[in-house]
Amino acid sequence: MIDNSPEFRVKRGIGLTLMLVLLAFAAVPTLWVLILSFRAPMAIFQPIWESPLALTLDNFFKITRSNFPSALMNSFITAGLSTAFAMIVGVPAGFALAKARLSGKFVASWVLLLLRMAPPVGFVIPLFLLYVNAGLIDTYMGLVFAYMTLTLPLVTWSMWNSFAQVPDELIEAAIMDDANLMQAFLLIALPAARPGAVAAAILAFLVAWNDFFYALIITRSGTATAPVAVMNFISYDSVDWASIAVASIALTLPILPLMAIANRYIVQSLSGAVKG
């Protein structure tokens, strides 16, 4: 039965008002960046109501003539490879931690958590010194391996929790039916944990996609990623705000579908946890 009491309506009104305020707080900067991307450079700092028609598409054409498109491709390559390698290693590791009878699970959980929470600055200095000696500076694989310090703990921790929701009885039944452990993992456990795996892969990709610090230290002009390439629009005596706005949109648009998919699978994973 729906509660239509005055007290309930007041609480619902307050909740909706707060939600709209928070939504506006989050949406206004995005809307402002979108407006800046179409503004003529001479009208960037003018109030929009004074020159509402000072719009242009030159900002979008200008950024295509810069090195930003190649940097955007570098972001796709490095984020995609680091996510793939993290999934190849982290998914079986999560399964082993969830189902194997190991005495050091508590220590492993803390190590994974510390690796996940540790700031990149704690890894970048030894990585940089190692990369200088190994010749991995300004290479894709050097940046991919650096990203795995962020993505691998995330994937392993997430898959550990996902596989822990899969009943042990299913795996035991598969083994009793003459399936080996690899078959039980691939045919039983992994399909059951698919929502968690998809969510972990997307979150790992987003972590690598948004990274700035590792890319700033490890890459040069050849493998610079999109977040680092945005700095090229800032010079000693000027800032190209319109190009920065276009670059921000270019960085955001590819991940919007991924965020929608991740939200769907995260909800599925959580609902599975509740049912379990």
**How buried is residue 238: exposed, middle or buried, by Cβ count under 10 Å (0-12/13-18/19+)?**
exposed
Tracing tokens 């929502």 back to the chain, one arrives at 195
Dihedral of alpha carbons 266, 92, 89, 111, sign:
positive
Give the tens place of pLDDT for each residue, 126-176: 889 999 999 999 999 999 999 998 999 999 988 988 898 888 888 888 888
Question: Which range (10-19, 104-113, 145-154, 220-229) has the least confidence?
Answer: 104-113
Cα within 13 Å of Cα(18), Cβ side = 6
Q: What is the pLDDT of residue 273?
A: 42
On average, the pLDDT of the chain sits at 85
Please determine, for residue 275, whether its predicted confidence score (pLDDT) is greater than 60: no
Please determine, for residue 248, whether its predicted confidence score (pLDDT) is greater than 70: yes
DSSP 223: T
Of 140, 254, 31, 239, which is closest to residue 230 (Cα–Cα)?
A: 239
Query: CB neighbours (10 Å) of residue 33?
Result: 17
Q: Provide the token pair at 109.
A: 């959980």
d(CA 161, CA 163): 6
Beta partners for residue 65, in sequence order: none
* pTM of the model as a whole: 0.85
d(CA 83, CA 101): 28
Of 255, 268, 202, 246, which is closest to residue 35 (Cα–Cα)?
A: 246
Dihedral of alpha carbons 154, 157, 159, 162, sign:
negative
Spatial contact of 248 and 238, defined as CB atoms under 8 Å apart: no
Complete DSSP assignment for 122-190: HHHHHHHHHHHHHT-TT-HHHHHHHHHHHHHHHHHHHHHHHHHTS-HHHHHHHHHTT--HHHHIIIIIH
Give the tens place of pLDDT for each residue, 85-137: 999 999 999 998 888 777 777 777 777 777 777 788 888 888 899 999 999 99
Give the tens place of pLDDT for each residue, 163-208: 988 888 888 888 888 888 888 898 889 998 888 899 899 999 999 9
Q: Provide the token pair at 200.
A: 């972990």
Using pLDDT thresholds of 50, 70 and 90, give the confidence band for residue 271: low
What domains, with CATH codes, occur in the chain? 6-58 (no CATH), 66-275 (1.10.3720.10)
Using pLDDT thresholds of 50, 70 and 90, give the confidence band for residue 211: very high
Three-class SS state of 239: strand
- At 199, the amino acid letter reads A
Cα within 13 Å of Cα(198), Cβ side = 18
Using pLDDT thresholds of 50, 70 and 90, give the confidence band for residue 39: confident
